[in-house]
């Protein structure tokens, strides 16, 4: 049985507004088991379910998290997981006033007939998975697709990425989940309600190997120029990914973006730029949990101030 988008319309708008609320943004903690394994390896830990559970427990139980963080994106494992104290992670988040979200894409695979580009899997069975995730407490979703440079982006890859995102967005909304969507999307062809989505683009920054660094003001100017040209004011929030920027860089760039009024809530949906110091401080040791949680809160608060355009370093 398919639920029509209309039946969730009010709730979707409300969820999107809650996530895009002043001074708050998203904690992305939806690393796949493989990616989480890489993070754990960086502090000398094995990629076991127990270690992933310990780390994710640390993240969701940061005291006061909800003051700065409105939503947390989870990997499927965490949506069904309990903390080390046996409480559902989802319930802990809700008590913290943080909306639980879920990564629903199934990752990238080679796009046949393209120039070594990729496409994103996950549409098969997405409606039933989304309904189950809603039952489990998720209220928003994320789908990450990639168009690559310099191999592409070919017209084929762009079309595939846009179509996949738009289908995902429509399916999410029909099942009560606010879709976090990445850029350049043929949404109007798929009856996606702009008021009930959030956009998660990367910022316009120099390439990782580029020697000339850009100032936060330049990053903000280029990024906002593009967004103003393309993104309808009906979209409630632009939640940037950090994409390998340093923690401070990501905060400064967000702060620069919030120096002038914008039609949308401009905020963060960072994984690495919120977690890097926290993970290192923890190092897998129970005695470091509190110190690690404090570092996460420092980054969350800095980005909260940057969302308000009031970060001073």
# chain residues binding ligand 13P, by CB under 6 A: 12
Place of tokens 């110190």: 291
Out of 25, 27, 30, 237, point to the residue binding ligand 13P (CB under 6 A): 30
Q: In the bound complex, what is the minimum distance in angstroms from residue 276's beta carbon to ligand 13P? A: 9
273 binds ligand 13P (CB under 6 A): yes
Out of 81, 145, 205, 242, point to the residue binding ligand 13P (CB under 6 A): 242
The kind and range of the H/E element at 77 are helix 76-79
Out of 27, 271, 278, 292, point to the residue binding ligand 13P (CB under 6 A): 271
Please check whether residue 15 is in contact with residue 139, taking contact to mean a CB–CB distance below 8 angstroms. Answer: yes
What is the phi-psi region of residue 86: left when phi exceeds 0, alpha when psi lies from -120 to 50, beta otherwise?
Answer: left
Q: Which stretch binds ligand 13P (CB under 6 A): 93-101, 119-127, 155-163, 271-279?
A: 271-279
> Which residues are annotated as catalytic?
182, 200
Q: In the bound complex, what is the minimum distance in angstroms from residue 31's beta carbon to ligand 13P? A: 7
- Output phi, psi for 100, to 5 deg: -75, 135
203 binds ligand 13P (CB under 6 A): no
Q: In the bound complex, what is the minimum distance in angstroms from residue 265's beta carbon to ligand 13P? A: 18
If the CB atoms of residues 5 and 299 are measured against ligand 13P, the closer one turns out to be 299
The dihedral built from the CA positions of residue 34, 124, 178 and 309, taken in this order, carries a sign that is positive
Please check whether residue 168 is in contact with residue 123, taking contact to mean a CB–CB distance below 8 angstroms. Answer: yes
Q: Which residues on adjacent β-strands are paired with residue 266?
A: 238
Q: Which stretch binds ligand 13P (CB under 6 A): 58-66, 159-167, 235-243, 258-266?
A: 235-243
- Nearest-angstrom CA–CA distance, 65 and 94: 11
182 binds ligand 13P (CB under 6 A): no
3-state helix, strand, coil in the chain (%, to 5): 45, 15, 40
Would you tell me which residues interact with ligand 13P (CB under 6 A)?
A: 28, 30, 73, 142, 144, 241-243, 270-273
């Amino acid at each position: 049985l398919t639920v029509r988008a209309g039946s969730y319309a009010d709730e979707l708008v409300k969820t999107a507004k809650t996530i895009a609320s002043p001074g708050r943004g998203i904690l992305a903690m939806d690393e796949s088991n493989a990616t989480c394994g890489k993070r754990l390896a960086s502090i000398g830990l094995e990629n076991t379910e127990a270690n992933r559970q310990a780390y994710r427990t640390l993240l969701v139980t940061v005291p006061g998290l909800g003051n700065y963080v409105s939503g947390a994106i989870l990997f499927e494992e965490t949506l069904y997981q309990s903390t080390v104290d046996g409480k559902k992670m989802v319930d802990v988040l809700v008590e913290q006033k943080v909306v639980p979200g879920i990564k629903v894409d199934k990752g990238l695979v080679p796009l046949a007939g393209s120039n070594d580009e990729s496409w994103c899997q996950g549409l098969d069975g997405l409606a039933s998975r989304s309904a189950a995730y809603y039952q489990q407490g998720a209220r928003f979703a994320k789908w990450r697709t990639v168009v690559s440079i310099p191999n592409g982006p070919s017209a084929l890859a762009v079309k595939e990425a846009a179509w996949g995102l738009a289908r995902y967005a429509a399916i999410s909304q029909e099942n009560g989940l606010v879709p976090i969507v990445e850029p350049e999307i043929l949404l109007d062809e798929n009856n996606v309600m702009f008021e009930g989505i959030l956009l998660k683009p990367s910022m316009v920054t120099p390439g990782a190997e580029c020697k000339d660094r850009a100032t936060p003001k330049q990053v903000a100017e280029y990024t906002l120029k593009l967004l103003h040209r393309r993104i309808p004011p009906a979209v409630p929030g632009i939640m940037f990914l950090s994409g390998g920027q340093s923690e401070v860089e990501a905060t400064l760039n967000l702060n620069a973006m919030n120096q002038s009024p914008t039609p949308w809530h401009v905020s963060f949906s960072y994984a690495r730029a919120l977690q890097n110091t926290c993970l290192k401080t923890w190092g897998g040791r129970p005695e470091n949990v509190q110190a690690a949680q404090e570092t996460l809160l420092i980054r969350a608060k800095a980005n909260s101030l940057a969302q308000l355009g009031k970060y001073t370093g």
